[in-house]
Amino acid sequence: MVRLTVTNAQNMDDISSNKDTSPAPEAAVAVVVVPFPAQGHLNQLFHLSRLLSRRGRLSVHFVGTATHNRQVRLRVHGWDPHRHPVRFHDLPTPPFTSPPPDPTTPIKFPAHLQPTFEASDALRGPFADLLRAISKTSPRVVVVHDALMSFAAREASLVPNAEAYAFHSVSAFASLFFQYESRGANASALFPELPKLSTDGCFTDTFMDLVRRRHRMTEAASVSGRLLNTCRPMEGQFLDLLAREPFAHDKKLWAVGPLNPIKIGRPARHECLKWLDKHPPKSVMYVSFGTTSSLSEEQVREIAIGLERSGQRFLWVLREADRGDIFADHDKEGLRLPDEYERRVRGWGLVVLDGWAPQVEILRHESTGGFMSHCGWNSCVESLSMGVPIAAWPMHSDQPRNAMLVTEVLGVGVTVREWGRRGEVVRAKAVEEVVRRVMVYEEGREMRRRADEIGVAVRGVAAAEEGGGCGGHAELDCFVAHITRRV
């Protein structure tokens, strides 16, 4: 675990700009939430919508394509529509192709989703119409948009009683690096204690063109502040940095996480949870690489053999990456395990093939003792919330930086494969060794102790929320106080 010394950052007074004026007497503040159409982004902004719907008398509107709104409702954990009323608005988009993922590409970024991302540009016109309609019945309209859906900020700037806030679906740590690098600066100079990390292989050129195009649109609009799905027990020092210049851009900043539910009451339990019930505390390694990562047949085989040879209990969710439309009919061969594999590991290893598993509940289960993960920010927050150490295997996007945060800064994880060797297949021996480091060795016990400490603190941020009150998520309450302030 590294204690970081900050260099090359200007000093500034402590965060005082987040103080809010008294609440408006009217109850009619409409919050319009605009997510980016990828599972990790959809998930975070829907959970924000869920939490906002319980505060004051806000009306919360969730805006997206019919396909992605349906996807959210299918996969969300911990949502009771009676306790958390959220109104969905299905906006039209032109047809878009939904090609399969290609696990053989050297860059693991989900380029097969690019048609979906491009199609979201067509939401601008219908969104503008919806925004104007809502603005006629609400004294104030607050647009909370994914930072990659910047047209929403532009349209909000054209409505007199609307204001826009950008939601960043990455960690504060990754956000600092991205902002530094966008200026052409050497981000490694910001934290000289950390290993240097190349940005090569994180994104495709085509996706970065889309990001730059939408970033220019944001610059032309007025964004009133920023929100992140994080909290001080996880990233306090990085939040302090983001609240200062040159990173603050004279904008308010709220760390409103953790957004994922901490407790889930559900009468019907997934079969994998019943399987976990049969095993001792902290004895199972959970393995999952998210919804956008694709593994080659060779890599699947090496993981399978490594897990088997480790001799440790494991729960492996093995699925193909999402397509742009998860509901469309597709020819699907499915991922294949070695012959007789499930028979050989029966009783101490469980593979959930091509299915959807309740990740938050798995991580919360007392039998789960480690998480082999791609280090998507959702997964990191959920794992840290539950005090589970991580075997970090980043694939693309912000994941290499999240992996560095987990392993080098917080000291609650180990690296499966160095980012500089991302083009190589991770062999069974390496998988076996990493599993044993987390689950068996003293190193793993120490990581689990630190993860437990962070988990207790993170759960404390949200404890009152899950208990049925509104006393948790103090920064979220500050944000609500701000958007309901008197004019």
Assess if residue 3 is contained within a domain: no
pLDDT of residue 333: 63
pLDDT of residue 1: 56
Q: Is pLDDT of 7 > 50? A: no
Per residue in 426-469, pLDDT tens?
999 999 999 999 999 999 999 999 999 999 999 998 875 554 44
Average pLDDT over residues 111-117: 88
**Together in a domain, 154 and 36:** yes
Confidence of residue 25 (pLDDT cuts 50, 70, 90): very low
Assess if residue 4 is contained within a domain: no
Q: Which domain holds residue 177?
A: 29-262+462-483
Per residue in 247-265, pLDDT tens?
777 889 999 999 998 776 6
More confident residue, 162 or 198: 162
Assess if residue 12 is contained within a domain: no
Assess if residue 302 is contained within a domain: yes
Active-site residue, 146 included: yes
pLDDT of residue 170: 96
Q: What is the CATH number of the domain that holds 314?
A: 3.40.50.2000
Assess if residue 17 is contained within a domain: no
**Together in a domain, 116 and 219:** yes
Q: Is pLDDT of 90 > 90? A: yes
Q: Which of 61, 146, 279, 365 is catalytic?
A: 146
Active-site residue, 452 included: no
Confidence of residue 190 (pLDDT cuts 50, 70, 90): confident
Assess if residue 358 is contained within a domain: yes
Assess if residue 144 is contained within a domain: yes
**Together in a domain, 329 and 416:** yes
* Whole-number percent of the chain with pLDDT over 70: 87
**Together in a domain, 439 and 347:** yes
**Together in a domain, 316 and 301:** yes
Average pLDDT over residues 386-403: 97
pLDDT of residue 172: 96
Q: Is pLDDT of 341 > 90? A: yes
More confident residue, 110 or 330: 110
**Together in a domain, 98 and 160:** yes
Q: Is pLDDT of 16 > 70? A: no
Assess if residue 79 is contained within a domain: yes
Per residue in 177-187, pLDDT tens?
888 877 766 77
Which of the given ranges, 7-21, 41-55, 369-383, has the highest pLDDT on average?
A: 369-383
The mean pLDDT of the chain is: 87
**Together in a domain, 45 and 128:** yes
**Together in a domain, 189 and 293:** no
**Together in a domain, 96 and 211:** yes
**Together in a domain, 453 and 472:** no
Q: How many domains does the chain have?
A: 2
**Together in a domain, 240 and 188:** yes
Q: Which residue in this structure is represented by tokens 């902290």?
A: 282
Confidence of residue 119 (pLDDT cuts 50, 70, 90): confident
**Together in a domain, 252 and 228:** yes
